Amino acid sequence: MKELIEYREKLLARFEEAAKEFCDACRSFKDPFANITGERTIHYLASLVRGVDREAYGLRVRRTLNEDDPGFTNFDPQAWMTEHYDRDEPLENILNEFSASIHEMCKLLAKGPQPIWSRLSHHDVLGKELTLQLWAERDLAHIEGHLAALKRAENK
């Protein structure tokens, strides 16, 4: 159990670090509307990462924490972005909202007892008995994937 507790503590620490690194990487580009991955801009990626946290993985963590076996439907990030992306929203607003969301989620998870990590949910595609920890890990992986893309673009 000690190793699992340490893993979860490191997961939360990495969450905070990854969110900060992602925001810093977004801010490091002079032009937030420069294409960095195909037709995607820094501004678009920031909005996407915030949206996926808010509407999918972060939402799943929070609902799994507060509800008994919540059910989730599949989330299509591209369809969501097509409908909700606002090119005129200031980048700083996006990054501040994203950072605050991650910080709040980490605080909730850090203060909770260990059994919260094993709270269950279900998903219409992924199946049953999906833990809160799984959603947290997926949220972090999503952030880190886009952070890696930003770092590759910085090095070009």
**Residues 74-125: pLDDT tens digits?**
999 999 999 999 999 999 999 999 999 999 999 999 999 999 999 999 999 9
What crossing angle do the helices spanning 42-52 and 132-154 adopt, rounded to 10°?
170
Which CATH number does the domain housing residue 81 bear? 1.20.120.450
Is pLDDT above 70 for 130? yes
Total domain count for the chain? 1
Radius of gyration over every alpha carbon of the chain, rounded to an integer in angstroms: 16
Where residue 153 falls among pLDDT bands split at 50, 70, 90? confident
Q: Quick one: pLDDT at residue 50?
A: 98
**Residues 17-37: pLDDT tens digits?**
999 999 999 999 999 998 887
- 25 neighbors 41 (Cβ within 8 angstroms): no
